[in-house]
Each structure stands twice: as C-alpha cells, then as structure tokens.
Structure 1
Amino acid sequence: MFTIDDLADRLGGYLPPDEIRQVKRAFYYAEQAHDGQRRRSGEPYVTHPLAVANILANMHMDHQSLMAAMLHDVIEDTGVSKEALGEQFGEAVAELVDGVSKLTQITFEDKAVAQAENFQKMVLAMSRDIRVIIVKLADRLHNMRTLGALRPEKKRRIARETLEIYARIANRLGINTIRVELEDLSFQALHPMRAERIKRAVASARGHRRSAIRQIQNSLQQSLDDDGLSGSVVGRQKHLLSIYKKMRDQRKSFAEIMDVFGFRIIAEDVDSCYRILGVVHNLYKPVPGRFKDYIAIPKANGYQSLHTTLFGPNGMPIEVQIRTREMEAMANNGIAAHWLYKAGQTEHPIAEGSHARARAWVKGLLEMQRHAGDSLEFIEHVKNDLFPDDIYVFTPKGDIMELPQGATVIDFAYSVHTDIGNSCIACRIDRHLAPLSTRLQSGQTLEIITAPGARPNLAWLNVVVTAKARSAIRHALKHQQHTEAVQLGRRLLNKALAEFETSLEELPAKPLDALLAELGLKNEDALLESIGLGTRVAHVVARRLVDLQHGEQSPAPGGKHRQGPIVISGAEGMVIKFARCCHPLPGDPVIGHLSVGKGIVVHRAECRNLAELKSDPDKLFALEWSDESDEDFPVPLRLEIESRRGLVAELASLVTDADANIERIGIEERDARLSIVNLTLSVRNRVHLARIIKRLRNLSHVGRITRLSN
C-alpha cells in the first residue's frame, strides 16, 4: 500500500525538506481528523487524500496544493473549521481547502441545484486561487478510479458530471493527462460493455500492427538522423472515448479508425520543429488541407504543436505531431506546468502564458456568474463555454481572438467587450459589410460598428453560441425590461392617482413606505415595475396609497388632475407590445390592455378581442399615438388579383416604389382566373398604408383589397 513515506521520497526530487515536513504534518492531521472513517471500499478514509496528493506530486505541484489535497475533506466530513485550519497551516491552505469543500450546511431541493451551487462556490474560490481547480481535478480523478464500490445509478451520475464539466475543465486548462483518464473512466462507467469491447479490439489491433508501426517509426527517425536533426519519434495511442466518438460521429468502423497511424516527434527547439516538418513532408507526401500550426497560433488552453497528415507506405494515413519538450510538458500538464517551472525556480513563457489565459478564463466565468439569474443558469453557461474546437479570428489591429466553432459576429463583439456587444449594429468581415448573425471562419478580420443608442435584440439569443454573449444579452434584456417597466408603471400610477387629484410626486413619503412594507417590496422601483408588467393594477395601488395618506378615508375620484390618454410612439421596446390579432398602426384609434408579465398590449379600438377584455375595465387604458413615431409596423393585406405571369415582381416593384417593404407573401388560387395574395407589408402609419392601397387599386387586374384583422 502507498504510504506517506513513499510520497515524501517522491517529493524529495523537487521540494525542499522543510516543505516536505509541512506536507507530512498535514497528512498526520488529516489522519487524526478522519480517524474511524472508512471509504465505501472498506479502506481507511485517509488513503483517499494521500492518493490525491500523489496525483498532484506527479504534476510537481507546490507544497500548499499538496497540503490542501491532504486536508480537502476535513471541513466537509469532520468537525474541523476553516479558521482552525488557517491557524494550523496558514490562510492560503485554508482557502484552498474551503474552495474544494462542498456546501454541507445548506439543504438543497435537488441534486442539480446542489451541484450548481457547489460549482458556483468553487468558481469564486478559483478566482482567488486557480490551484483550487487543480486540487479538485485530482480529487475527482481518484474518485473516478475508485467508483467500483458505488451503486450503478450513482456511478452514472458522477460519470456524467465528470464528462460534462470536469473533463472539459481539464481540457480548457490544457491538463491532457487528467482529461484523457477522466474521459476514459467516465466512458467505462456509462457504457461498460462498449468500453470493454473497444479495449479488447485496441489490444488485438496493436499486436497485428506492431511491425508496421516500427517500420514507419524507424524511417521517420532515420530521416531526422540523416539531416542531422535531433528529435525522438514515439508512437501515439488513441484513448477509448476518442475512438468511440469518431466511430459514432464519423460513422466509421473500428478498422477505419485504427488504420490511421499516429506519431509524435519531440524536438529541441521551435526552429527544429519547422525543419523537422520539412523533412517529414519530404519523406511522405502531405494530405492537402490537413496541416495545422498551433505553434504560431496556440489553442485557447495554451496547447502548441505542429499537426500534419501524410500518405504513408501503401497509402496508409499517418498523423504526425511535432513539438518541443516544453510544449510536450504543457500538453500533458497544462496550467500545472506553471508550478512545475516555478518549482525549478525558472520562469517559462509558455507556462506563464497558459497561467495568464487560465486567469482570463476564470475572470470570464466570474462575469458570467454576475449576469446569470441563478446557479442552474450559470452552470448551463459554463457547460456551453467548455466545448472545444476553437476558431481564430483577428481584430483590425491584428490581435488574435479565440471563439468556439459556429460563433457569430455577435459572439465576437461580446468577446471583445460587453459594452461593444450591447451597442453593435453592423460589422465588416475582411472589409466587407456582413450581417451580425454571420457564422465566422478562422482567419477572418472583423471590425464591429457600434451606435450609442443601440440595444441587444431578443432574437440574438437564437444565434449566439458563447456563454459570455448569451448571459450578457439576457442580463441587458432584463435590465432593459426593468427600466421600461418602471417608466410605464410610473405613467400608469400617475394616471390612476390623477383620479384622486394627486400624483406620485405630490404624495408624502410615509404612505408610500407603508405600502411597500405592506406588500413586502424593497423600493419604489419594485412597485412601479410590478405595475408596468401588469402583476399589480394601478387603480388598486392608487386607492391604497390615498387610503394610507388620509387614514383609510380616501376622497372620491374625479377632479382637475384627470389625465388624458397615455402617449405611445411604437419604440417603447419590451413593455409595450402590439397585438398580432389586429396589427395597429399609428393613426388608428387604439386601446391598451394591461397583460400580466408583458406590460401593455396595444389593440385597434374596433378589435373584436377587446370585447372579452372589457370585463376587467381597470386593465384597459386610452392610448394615443405620438406625432414623432418613425418606426415600421407590419400590416397584413388580402388582395384578389387576376392570375397572370410576373405578378409577384410587379407587386414587389410597386411596394418598393412606395417606400415600404414586403415581409411575407403567399399566393393561393381561387379558380383558373382569380388568385388570392396574402401580403404582409412593413409601413410607417395609416396614411402610408392608404397611399400604398391607392396605388394597388390603380392596377387594372387588382380587385378587392382587404386589411386583415382578427
């Protein structure tokens, strides 16, 4: 059995004796705290923290991380407090342990909420010290290695969580060794039979292919030696989940996947990598379009390497990766390489760059966490953000931005800055104007055009793919709705108070404070928002305010303060909506109906649906149009037209000449001679519509024209 003395011997290779003594002290403290506790497998509990510390020792992590690994379950599973750990081992170790510990003192409704809240707590701890996630990954890896003792459904739940979150985080931080093992262990727990069959097939295939692999490896090594280049060639093995995913996604058989031979060449320096690439391409012909230079443009997690695919002997595909020793260490240990180099008291630019990228990523997580409505929404954003396969685009100044596959111009705008995303109106891709919904491709140069009054659009949520953009848009829309609802609520309440010859501004603070306390609301804005969104009726709130002011003796409504109709322009945004049943236009007589959660819905005065709503007169309002309205409004028309060739083109030309747009057109035949055309136009007002209808009537083959309603 692995002991603390075995670990101390391993640590002697890179830690000074006083730090090793501190790690041993943390072990003995954990051993005493967990005394009597056992794992499901029956082993003493302390074997788990010791194994976690051993995983971190393989990565050459610092002594504080190793101490936190020893103590990581002490707060959660024993009576020891964070303060006690701080006194014994220092504040840094106590913070690391607390960051990894679950929220045991709170009872959650279900497992999903508990998982989300614990993850949110860990992200906040990560923002203070990134080592929290490395300790957590090591903890999760050992738990996955020892899943055997758990119930099948718990195994599957933990494996799914590992695959969806922790394996992706390991990938995002470039810790490939942990990522691969987490993925394979999760795959084996979720699909044990498939994993076993693939494992047996891999072992069998490797035996058959041994001579071919050796032949290609020898020819690659010989070519390097002939050109005087020092580099070692090693075979590269695919892991189980990678093989399974390729078989499933690419619909290939196991034989087709295993037909690809993988090799890695480790070079002395970056210059040698490119020279070796030339030698390899000279030996075997490269497959066009299959070369990737991750040295010049590293992946988001800091990964650097040259990738090329070659036509090998007898046309066998060969995948070759070429990198330096430092890049190999980074590929395996990712952000943990930062501590590997610090342990040797040397700063290394690759490791430093990876650490900086990881800090930037955690900063982005914090921004998402602030914008998210709750922990479940936050964890969904994080899952979306952890998908790999990035594309690389450029800012006008030549800076490289990493975005996920399928990202749009809007995603790019938000990745530059939230304010730029919120105010973007157009974009130039490689100097050509393009829609904001355009999907981006690697190598494009983007320039975002913004406008001061611009606001995010609800439809953007259907096209963005990055978690940062999605959470920022939702946050902006919530803020926009809140502001507009407060403004509308103020107008509605003042209109209702005018019936009692007063206004919100004239009311003393005392009755308003009393009403807020009575309703359990935080402030005046919360009350006005609830009125604007239709969850409270303005007349009821006004009467209660006046009752509280006059000691339950409110004056009769009516008098000189009576206000006129509410003025609307059509540009109010999220709390004034236009009914789709009657499509009101500026110039139409209109009535507003207060709908719960939506605000005011505007109907034409003759709309038949208003008959059903008149049973609740407190929710109906007189409205009138502002003279300054310059928005476009949809209006449906029905035309009876003689069937003829070029009909649609003629209608489109006439509508365009009248300075309007066709939003939708549909044609149905009534008989051999007549066609019915359903046309939805975008017009400014009733006068604009009348002008278009007059032009349509002038066409000799147009019969009846009807403006549709209900």
Structure 2
Amino acid sequence: MLTLTAKHHLKVQKFILFCTVWLMLMKNDGDLMLEEYNRLIEKLKSNGKEYNWGLIEKAYKFACIAHEGQKRSSGEPFVIHPLQVAYILAEMEMDTATVVAGMLHDTVEDSSFTYENTLKNFGEEIANLVDGVTKLAKIPYTNKQEIQAENLRKMFLAMSKDIRVIIIKLADRLHNMRTLKYKPREKQIEIAQETLDIYAPLAHRLGIYKVKWELEDLSFRYLHEKEYYDLAEKIAKKRKEREEYIENIMKTVAEKAMEMGIEAHIDGRPKHLYSIYMKMKRQHKELDQIYDLFAIRVIVNTVKDCYAVLGLVHELYKPMPGRFKDYISMPKPNMYQSLHTTVIGPEGIPFEVQIRTWEMHRIAEVGIAAHWKYKEGGRQNDDLSEKLAWLRQLLDWQKETTDPDEFMENLKIDLFTDEVFVFTPKGDVKCLKAGSTPIDFAYAIHSDIGNRMIGAKVNGRIESLDYELKNGDIVEIITSATSKGPSRDWLKKVKTSQARNKINQWFKKEKRDENIARGRELFEKELKKQGLSSQQILKPEIFAAAFKKYNYHDMDDLYLAIGLDAISSGKAVSRLKEEYRKTLPPEEQKQLLEEEKKKELSKKQKERPAPETGVIVKGIENCLVRLSRCCNPVPGDEIVGYITRGRGVSVHRKDCINIQSNLNDNERLIEVEWYKGKAASYQAELAVKAHDRTHLLLEITNVISDAGVPLKAINARTTKDNVAVMNLTVEITDTEQLEKIINRIRRVPDVFEITRNNK
C-alpha cells in the first residue's frame, strides 16, 4: 500500500491542477483565453514595474478552473471577463495584488470556490480584496431600493479599509458596460442608469476621469439611444472641418512654445458625447450653437512651464472672462491638477485649453489609482488617508441614515456634486459641495464652531445663513458662547451630509427628550390616520421583526429617529403594520387587505383631480369647459355655465353682459361651481384711470410686483385731457387676491378710477 507524505500530496495536487488547465486550453475556447492572458502579460510588462509573475499565472489557472464551462451572455468563456478586468487594472498600472484580485473577483460569487480557498492559495491581502468586491448574496429586503442601498453601504465600508476595492469594482463595471449589448433591453436600461447615477460620479470623485468619461458615454448610448446616435452622426459630419481648425491652433502654440524653449506635447481632445449632450440640455442649444466641442491639452515638464504656456496662450488668443481655473495652486479633492482657460480662437470660435505636467496628466487619467501606495502591513499612507477624508465623512453619515430612500437620494445629491472653493480669513482653503452655505462651512471647520454659530460674514459683509457660497469667497463665522445651538431650520439650508449629520447629533444629544416626545406625537397621529391602535402593533415580537435591520432597540429609539426625521412616521407605521398582518390568521389577513383596498379606492374617488379650468360642471364628468374671455371669471365670482354648440360649456360671471342677454334660454344654462382644491391661476383685466405724471406707470407696476402677482399684459395711453388710461392683465388665484390688488392700486397718488373689465 502506497502512502503519500504531505510534500508528495502537494506535488500530486499541483500536477492535477496543471493537467486540468492544460486539458481546458486544448479546447476551442482555450486559444481565446490564452490570447487574452498573453495580452494582459504584455501590458503588464510594458508598465516597467516589478510583478509577481508566478502569482499572476497561478491566478489565471485558478480562474480558469473556477469558471470552467461557464459562458457569458455573449457566448464567450466567462473567464474572458475577469481577464479583461485585470487588463483595465493593468492600464492603471496597479500592483500585483490588485491585478490578481481583478482576475479572481467573481470566483467566490460565481463558482464553488470560497473565501477560504482564496485565502489559502493567495493570502489574506488578495482574499480580502476579492471579498470586498464580491456582491451581496440574495438578502430578503423589502424592495429594490434597500438592496441597492445595502450593496453601496458594503462597498463604501470595503473602500474605507482598502481603496483598491473600488478601483477593481469600477474596472468590473466598465467591462460589463462594454459588453452590455448582449443583455435584454430592460436590463441594459437598469444597469446603465445605475452606472450613470453611482459609478460614473464615483469615478469622478476618485479622479479616474478616463473611466468616468467612458462610463458616461456608454450609459448615454443605452439610456438615450436615439439622441446618442443622432449626436454622433452630426459630430462626425463636421469632424474633418473641426480637426483642421484645431490642428492649426495646435501648430501655432507648439511653434511659439518651442521659441520659448519649452518642450511641450500638444494634442486635441474632442469633448465626450455625454458632456456635449448635457451642455445642450442645460443651455437649451442645438449642436451648431455649441462651439467649444474641442479642447487642446498641453503637457509640459514643470509647473513653471505650465504658467509660461498659459501666458503664451493668452497672448495668442483673447481669454474669455470668468473662464480661467487654476487647479494647480488649488487642486480638486480628487487630486486633479491642471490649468483651464477658455479663449476666443480664429473666426471668433471659443475653445478650451488645459495645461498640466506629465505627472498631473497621469493622475488626471487614473486619479486615486496613482496614489495607492501602501506601507508594510497594508495600511494606507497618511497622504492618501487625508485625501479620502470625504469617505470617512460618508461612513459617519451612513451610521445616522437608516432609511434606504434617504440614503440613495442624499448619496446622489451630496456625494457626487461639483465643488466650490472658499477661504477662511487666514487664507486656508476649504472645499465644499456646490451650493453649500455658511452653515456647511462652519461645520466643515469644527462641530463647536457650527453649534455656536450666530451669523456669517462673506467677503466682509454680513450674509444670510442660506447664502450660496461661490468660488473665492472669504468666509468668517460669527460665534457666541451664549448661543442656544443650531436651529431645526438649518437642516433645510445645509447641503452637505457632514453638516446635516453634526446638527442631528446635537439634537440627538441635547434635545433627546424633546425629540422623543415629537416622534411619539407624529407616530400616534399616523397610527390614528391608518386606523390602528398601539395595542395591536406595539408588541415586542412585531417591533423586533420590523426593525431587525436597523439600530432601533426599543420604542424610544424609534420615536427619536422619527423626531429627528431619520425615518418618517408613515414608513415606521407601515413596517409595523406589515409585520402585524403576518401574525393574523389567513382569513383575517385577506379581510384586512380587502378593507385597505376599499379605503384606497374611496380615497382616490374623493381625490378627484383638479380640472384644468378649476370649474366643475354639476352632474357631468369629463366635460369640455372653457372660461369665457368676455368677463374672465375667477374663483370668488358667482358663475354660470352656458352650453355652446360644439365647444362644450362656456363659463361666465353671472353679471356678464353676454350671459344676461341669454337668461331666457334656460335649456342651455347649466349649474357650475369652482373646484375647492389646490388654487389654480386665472387672468383678470383691470381698467385704471389717473392724472398723468412722471413715474406713474412705474409706481403702479411696482405695486403689482410687490404683491407677488404676475403682470401678464399692459396697454397704456394718455388722452388730450392728460388722463392716463391703462388696461392691465394680472394673474391671480381668486377674487380676494384681486380685491387686494385693486385696493393697492387705488392708493397710488393721482389714480381716481379702477374697474374690472367686463367686455
């Protein structure tokens, strides 16, 4: 009987592994897989870095075995996908561990291999990277929003431990988008929308612009297919003409740079389709009206050369005011550095110029991936940790946000908006989200500054707390030791999650009892509204089941969350109600559902949509109704309907001259009434007479404007007797508002008559 030592056993395992892979490579798909692997190796060699080639080859064989027999939607071997992901990571010049994790990122999710297999074969660092990228298993969340929110929570948590996790995730998403054409149309739209909402902005936040632009253009292609191909076709038609234009500019700049002794690499960069599309939408313009479709990029050796080239460009071409940005002296939070200027070129056509060094260019392409360096033991260096401060803020905010809808909405608004650079009085730069207020600025400095804030000076002037900060503003926060703390209204004014989180923390700590009382009151109102009693649903087992995914340990925790607006009372009651229903016998569950359906139907019937004219014809639904122009009735007027021939019901004021002449025709008169719902707007005509003088018309229009009433039309003339006659058309909601306007105009000096027109 032959016995094997552990050493021999390992050799046998390796031999079996080798034979398995060799047999696979002999199949038809083997050539394609090997070709893709060799392409990856060539790319890694071109990087000129040291790699663990043995570990990379081992990962390739491991992935081949794990995905043996698996196919993608395109029909190609599944292992082509992880190889392509590894290739994208190689383009970013990532290290061995990241490239290997890219090849293995689907092995735990889509094969029989486990985390322990990866740990045993490739070590803790790579196993943790693979685990960080692996998607969540199927968790029984109540809706799709919760699934997406939990996926993102896990992703951000993994990012905080090792930023390479998200770099692999972005490479994975990029290759999936490149092969999205093989998915069903419904799936294409879903994946493209998520990419545009989450992954492209995340690539922007990390400064990986090369990935960001491609993700945006691919998402645009699937979400707005017609607009994408129309735009691509229009741009292609004029490409040659534009290329000749930009070539001449590049030649001129290159020659002048050479004369100055500056070594410069210059290329033309067409703007990406999605950015052109968004510009057309924002500015409501056609493609022919968008001139800066191209930018030129100048790459030089030193920072000194960057500013020298900027001076040269401004000598050659006239700069457009307000379009110069210096991201070298003030880098973006994602480490992006460059000089941007827009100038007027030949023929009066504007174009953008970007100027940067080679190192800045590398960072602009791969962003955070250029700074992934780790100390021994896998810990991030201090410089990288500082640049990821926004991620720590996000994680702190997550702990306070239990509602998935709020999480997703704020994530899109708060994390992925543009930045604004503002200064402290000492000259320190603070980067905030665009639209931030002095309150956001105060909390960005320190919690105590925000909590003791009573006002703010912007550029030396006192400004309101909802003032929108602009680039270059110098902000001074005014504090007081006797301040009572933040106001609840501040939560509506702040734009950053950091400020919102700190304000909520203050209320949670300082006004716990008050917020619990507020939450209890809102909860009980909602219970009553939904026809429930606390005895029915406030049972320990129901509470535990409803909120097992949240940090609510008892009812006080829930009341506090409602009081702080962390969860709405409606959602809290609905969750409890759902769990309560599960405890009922099947017959009672069915009965409860039927009752709810009846209530919902009754509610819909009561909430009849407001008619466009704001008038209801008694006894008739979906009837064509129009307001008569002869008397312009508005809510508050007594009205009557007149059945016209072929034009539905015409609504008149009861004192209208035209309706008075038809009072005998009772068969065509019909009862109508004003809709008692949300106020609509109506036009009313006023005739004003006054002794003419200077500024009379201005004073009357100012009175109307100050009342917040739109002035839709005006017609004025002066008679031989020096009497000003004005016909005004104003937009009001009812006769009460109209009467107020009439009284205000009547008080204007020299006005002696004002009447409502009745033609």
Q: TM-score normalised to the size of structure 2?
A: 0.62
Residue of structure 1 in register with 2:402 after alignment:
373
Would the alpha carbon gap of residues 670 and 483 (structure 1) be closer, same or farther in structure 2, given more than 3 Å must change? closer
Shift of 1:259: 5.4
1:465-501 Cα distance to aligned partner (Å, 9 max, x none): 22322344345445556432568999xxxxxxxxxxx
Q: In structure 1, what is the Cα distance between the partners aligned to 2:430 and 2:238?
A: 41
Q: In structure 2, what is the Cα distance between the partners aligned to 1:286 and 1:433?
A: 33
| Conserved? CA contact 1:389–1:404, under 8 Å | yes
1:609-648 equivalent positions in 2, closer than 5 A: none
| Conserved? CA contact 1:234–1:263, under 8 Å | yes
Question: Does 2:431 align with 1:398?
Answer: no
Q: In structure 2, what is the Cα distance between the partners aligned to 1:356 and 1:338?
A: 10
1:18-57 Cα distance to aligned partner (Å, 9 max, x none): 6122122112112211222211111111111110000000
Question: Does 2:466 align with 1:433?
Answer: no
Would the alpha carbon gap of residues 435 and 531 (structure 1) be closer, same or farther in structure 2, given more than 3 Å must change? closer
1:244 to 277, 284, 301: 277
Shift of 1:329: 0.8
RMSD: 3.7
Question: Does 2:168 align with 1:127?
Answer: no
Residue of structure 1 in register with 2:116 after alignment:
83
Q: In structure 2, what is the Cα distance between the partners aligned to 1:13 and 1:531?
A: 57
Q: In structure 2, what is the Cα distance between the partners aligned to 1:454 and 1:108?
A: 41
Q: In structure 2, what is the Cα distance between the partners aligned to 1:674 and 1:213?
A: 61
Question: Does 2:445 align with 1:416?
Answer: yes
Would the alpha carbon gap of residues 528 and 323 (structure 1) be closer, same or farther in structure 2, given more than 3 Å must change? closer
1:28 to 51, 56, 61: 61
| Conserved? CA contact 1:145–1:185, under 8 Å | yes
Shift of 1:371: 1.8
Q: In structure 1, what is the Cα distance between the partners aligned to 2:107 and 2:287?
A: 46
Q: In structure 2, what is the Cα distance between the partners aligned to 1:266 and 1:353?
A: 29
| Conserved? CA contact 1:173–1:358, under 8 Å | no
Would the alpha carbon gap of residues 24 and 476 (structure 1) be closer, same or farther in structure 2, given more than 3 Å must change? farther
Question: Does 2:493 align with 1:463?
Answer: yes
Shift of 1:164: 0.7
Q: Residue 290 of structure 1 aligns to a residue in which SS?
A: coil
| Conserved? CA contact 1:261–1:319, under 8 Å | yes
Q: TM-score normalised to the size of structure 1?
A: 0.67
| Conserved? CA contact 2:202–2:416, under 8 Å | no
Shift of 1:176: 0.6
Would the alpha carbon gap of residues 670 and 274 (structure 1) be closer, same or farther in structure 2, given more than 3 Å must change? closer
Residue of structure 2 in register with 1:9 after alignment:
42
| Conserved? CA contact 1:301–1:357, under 8 Å | no
2:339 to 270, 295, 306: 306
Once the two structures are aligned, what percentage of the paired residues are identical? 45
Question: Does 2:418 align with 1:389?
Answer: yes
Shift of 1:529: 7.3
1:262-313 Cα distance to aligned partner (Å, 9 max, x none): 2111111000111111111112222222221111111222111111122222
- Partner amino acid for 1:456? P
Residue of structure 2 in register with 1:95 after alignment:
128
Q: In structure 2, what is the Cα distance between the partners aligned to 1:246 and 1:670?
A: 44
| Conserved? CA contact 1:116–1:379, under 8 Å | yes
Question: Does 2:268 align with 1:268?
Answer: no
Query: Structure 2: 5+ residue runs without aligned partners?
Result: 1-31, 521-538, 545-551, 570-735, 746-759
Q: In structure 1, what is the Cα distance between the partners aligned to 2:310 and 2:50?
A: 44
Q: Residue 109 of structure 1 aligns to a residue in which SS?
A: coil
1:150-299 equivalent positions in 2, closer than 5 A: 150-258=183-291, 260-299=293-332
Shift of 1:170: 0.4
1:224-267 Cα distance to aligned partner (Å, 9 max, x none): 11222221221111111011111111122212224554211111
Would the alpha carbon gap of residues 531 and 314 (structure 1) be closer, same or farther in structure 2, given more than 3 Å must change? closer
Q: Residue 43 of structure 1 aligns to a residue in which SS?
A: coil
Would the alpha carbon gap of residues 523 and 195 (structure 1) be closer, same or farther in structure 2, given more than 3 Å must change? closer
Residue of structure 2 in register with 1:445 after alignment:
474
Query: Structure 1: 5+ residue runs without aligned partners?
Result: 346-350, 491-514, 536-665, 676-710
Q: In structure 1, what is the Cα distance between the partners aligned to 2:190 and 2:278?
A: 20
- Partner amino acid for 1:424? M
Q: Residue 391 of structure 1 aligns to a residue in which SS?
A: strand
1:41 to 55, 61, 74: 74
- Partner amino acid for 1:87? K
1:356-367 equivalent positions in 2, closer than 5 A: 356-367=385-396
Would the alpha carbon gap of residues 401 and 352 (structure 1) be closer, same or farther in structure 2, given more than 3 Å must change? farther
Q: Residue 340 of structure 2 aligns to a residue in which SS?
A: strand
| Conserved? CA contact 1:184–1:240, under 8 Å | yes
Residue of structure 2 in register with 1:640 after alignment:
none
| Conserved? CA contact 1:260–1:316, under 8 Å | no
Q: Residue 388 of structure 2 aligns to a residue in which SS?
A: helix
1:197-243 Cα distance to aligned partner (Å, 9 max, x none): 11122222111233222221111111111222221221111111011
Residue of structure 2 in register with 1:585 after alignment:
none
Would the alpha carbon gap of residues 199 and 398 (structure 1) be closer, same or farther in structure 2, given more than 3 Å must change? same
Shift of 1:4: 1.5
Q: In structure 1, what is the Cα distance between the partners aligned to 2:68 and 2:743?
A: 94
Q: In structure 2, what is the Cα distance between the partners aligned to 1:320 and 1:476?
A: 47
Would the alpha carbon gap of residues 672 and 139 (structure 1) be closer, same or farther in structure 2, given more than 3 Å must change? closer
| Conserved? CA contact 1:335–1:354, under 8 Å | no
Would the alpha carbon gap of residues 268 and 70 (structure 1) be closer, same or farther in structure 2, given more than 3 Å must change? same
1:46-61 equivalent positions in 2, closer than 5 A: 46-61=79-94
Would the alpha carbon gap of residues 154 and 222 (structure 1) be closer, same or farther in structure 2, given more than 3 Å must change? same
Shift of 1:124: 0.6
- Partner amino acid for 2:115? K
Report 1 or 2 for greater relative contact order, CA contacts < 8 Å, sequence distance ≥ 6.
1
Q: In structure 2, what is the Cα distance between the partners aligned to 1:488 and 1:251?
A: 46
- Partner amino acid for 2:151? N
Q: In structure 1, what is the Cα distance between the partners aligned to 2:210 and 2:743?
A: 74
Would the alpha carbon gap of residues 481 and 311 (structure 1) be closer, same or farther in structure 2, given more than 3 Å must change? same
Would the alpha carbon gap of residues 179 and 376 (structure 1) be closer, same or farther in structure 2, given more than 3 Å must change? same
Q: Residue 489 of structure 2 aligns to a residue in which SS?
A: helix
Would the alpha carbon gap of residues 63 and 458 (structure 1) be closer, same or farther in structure 2, given more than 3 Å must change? same
1:655-674 Cα distance to aligned partner (Å, 9 max, x none): xxxxxxxxxxx999799999
| Conserved? CA contact 1:15–1:63, under 8 Å | no
Q: In structure 1, what is the Cα distance between the partners aligned to 2:319 and 2:225?
A: 38
